[in-house]
């Protein structure tokens, strides 16, 4: 009985991991390859799970037949099309990786609406979103909510990135998958950290605010579910994850929130009030980073993890400083639940001005710190800095650069920017 259950479970996992499902979803959404490919973007050949049982003979014959079929399809498509409008627009993969130089292959988009929708969805898990969303909560909504949400985000993303480097599963193979995005193609696949963050952030936002703010609860649930589903589907659309990666990411995120969620109030209070909090914040985030970076080959995972830990440390330090100087104080419990202010032109204008000015300060901070730290660290460790792309792939450069740069960005987001706002009448 146990053996049969185990065999059935393994078959289910293999079925959910099959890249054919990803490719089928892409074709359903109007994504087509412009030319056949024989290899993965990360260098691994495409082999079905059932082909392993017979030494790959069936897989070789199948791939030969599929390759001939694709070649014929591409030739027929080229003969039938006289322009982009015949089959769709030819598009380059999103966000070329400046560190790996991977540019991917061209592909056809037959449904532009879905392309833009899923592009938006996948950006909800990228750096530009985080550097905009979290500060907006800090400056325009509720610093209390943003502090705790960042703690959850750091937990989820750190554990997700570490788990990827433990499993070391490759991305869905191409062919049959079309790589609509290539920026994260050098990372491992299991679990999907986009799925983890898109589960943790809206769910935690709902749990933190439901008893703190007055708003329609069902509207919050609908937005949280929509957010999660959109991001998860976008990762399959982009060709970055299998169905199994997505399911595992969602379940893993729920497990992390279930285990660590009760400690959220204690952690936030400690960060604000304990006299030794700054020392522990810096040492803990540095220790977690050094403990996790044992990659066999370089990928964007290491830098992203250092970036997340640095941001979390900077924001936690800023919460401690804010508490000491009385900046962005939490409202007394007697005022809860809070009511959203009425939307007026004046309120919209102030929020827009805060957001624009604040993001400019953060982007300037990132640019300045990046320009200062990379040459400095290269000189400190004797690494040539004439090729920045190669220099940043050295752990001695990447970790300090990411940690210091994004630690400063996080600190400025919660302390320096509100401090500026308070002195120019925007707070």
| Higher per-residue pLDDT: 118 or 173 | 118
Q: Are 170 and 188 in contact (CB under 8 A)?
A: yes
Give residue 203's pLDDT: 94
Residue count (the chain): 427
Q: Report the chain's terminal Cα–Cα distance, integer Å.
A: 65
**pLDDT value of residue 205:** 93
- Output the CA torsion 75→77→81→83 (10° steps): -90
Alpha-carbon span 134 to 142, nearest angstrom: 10
Q: Cα(318)–Cα(362) distance, rounded to whole angstroms?
A: 14
Contact 153, 307 (CB under 8 A): no
- Which has more pLDDT, 413 or 99? 413
311 and 410 Cβ atoms separated by less than 8 Å: yes
Q: What pLDDT score does 368 carry?
A: 93
pLDDT in the model for residue 397: 79
Give the CA dihedral 201, 207, 209, 212, nearest 10 degrees: -160
Which of 194, 320, 394, 423 is an active site residue? 194
- Above 60 in pLDDT, residue 266? yes
Assess whether 49 carries a catalytic annotation: no
31-33, strands of its sheet edge to edge = 31-33, 107-109, 89-91
Where is pLDDT greater, at 372 or 84? 372
The Cα 201–Cα 204 span in angstroms is 5
CA gap 405, 313 in Å, rounded? 11
- Which has more pLDDT, 185 or 365? 365
Spot the catalytic one: 241, 274, 394, 423.
Answer: 241
pLDDT at 140: 82
Q: Say if residues 103 and 92 touch (Cβ distance below 8 Å).
A: yes
pLDDT digit string, tens, across residues 275-312: 999 999 988 888 887 776 555 555 567 778 888 899 99
Say whether 241 is catalytic.
Answer: yes
pLDDT tens digits along 53-62: 333 344 444 4
For 55-81, the pLDDT digits (tens) are: 334 444 444 444 444 444 444 444 333
At residue 32, what are phi and psi to the nearest 5 degrees? Answer: -130, 140
What's the confidence (pLDDT) of residue 117? 93
3-state percent breakdown (helix, strand, coil) of the chain, nearest 5? 70, 5, 25
Mean pLDDT for the stretch of residues 86-102: 55
Using CA of residue 286, residue 288, residue 289, residue 291, what is the dihedral sign? Answer: positive
- Rounded Cα distance between 286 and 40, Å, is 34
Contacts of 74 (CB under 8 A, 6+ apart): 33, 34, 35, 36
Longest dimension (CA), the chain: 73
Burial 400-409 (b: 16+ CB within 10 A, else e): bbbbbbbbbb
Task: Read off the pLDDT of each residue in 160-167 and give the average, rounded to a whole number.
Answer: 85
The whole model's pTM is what? Answer: 0.79
């Amino acid at each position: 009985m146990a053996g049969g259950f185990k065999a059935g479970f393994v078959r289910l996992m293999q079925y959910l991991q099959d890249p054919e499902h990803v490719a089928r979803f892409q074709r359903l959404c109007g994504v087509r390859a412009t030319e056949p490919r024989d290899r993965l973007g990360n260098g691994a050949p495409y082999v079905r799970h059932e082909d392993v049982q017979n030494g790959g003979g069936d897989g070789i014959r199948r791939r030969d037949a599929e390759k001939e079929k694709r070649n014929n399809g591409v030739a027929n498509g080229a003969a039938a099309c006289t322009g982009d409008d015949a089959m769709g627009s030819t598009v380059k993969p999103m966000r070329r990786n400046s560190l790996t130089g991977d540019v991917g292959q061209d592909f056809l988009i037959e449904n532009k609406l879905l392309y833009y929708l899923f592009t938006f969805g996948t950006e909800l898990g990228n750096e530009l979103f985080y550097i905009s969303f979290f500060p907006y909560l800090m400056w325009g909504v509720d610093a209390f909510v943003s502090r705790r949400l960042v703690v959850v985000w750091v937990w989820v993303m750190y554990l997700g990135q570490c788990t990827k480097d433990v499993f070391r599963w490759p991305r869905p193979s191409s062919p049959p998958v079309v790589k609509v995005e290539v920026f994260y193609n050098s990372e491992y696949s299991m679990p999907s950290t986009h799925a983890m963050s898109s589960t943790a952030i809206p769910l935690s936002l709902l749990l933190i605010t439901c008893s703190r703010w007055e708003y329609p609860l069902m509207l919050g649930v609908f937005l949280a579910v929509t957010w999660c589903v959109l991001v998860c589907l976008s990762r399959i659309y982009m060709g970055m994850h299998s169905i199994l990666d997505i399911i595992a990411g969602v379940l893993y995120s729920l497990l992390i929130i279930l285990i660590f969620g009760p400690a959220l109030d204690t952690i936030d209070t400690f960060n604000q009030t304990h006299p030794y909090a700054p020392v522990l914040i810096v040492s803990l985030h540095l220790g977690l980073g050094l403990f996790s970076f044992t990659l066999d080959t370089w990928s964007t995972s290491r830098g992203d993890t250092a970036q997340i830990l640095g941001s979390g440390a900077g924001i936690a330090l800023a919460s401690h400083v804010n508490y000491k100087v009385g900046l962005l104080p939490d409202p007394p419990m007697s005022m809860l639940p809070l009511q959203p202010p009425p939307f007026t032109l004046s309120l919209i204008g102030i929020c827009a001005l805060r957001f624009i000015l604040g993001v400019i300060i953060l982007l300037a901070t990132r640019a300045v710190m990046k320009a200062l730290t990379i040459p400095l660290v290269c000189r400190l460790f004797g690494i040539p800095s004439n090729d920045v792309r190669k220099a940043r792939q050295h752990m001695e450069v990447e970790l300090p650069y990411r940690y210091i740069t994004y630690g400063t960005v996080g600190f400025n987001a919660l302390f320096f920017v509100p401090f500026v706002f308070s002195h120019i009448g925007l707070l």
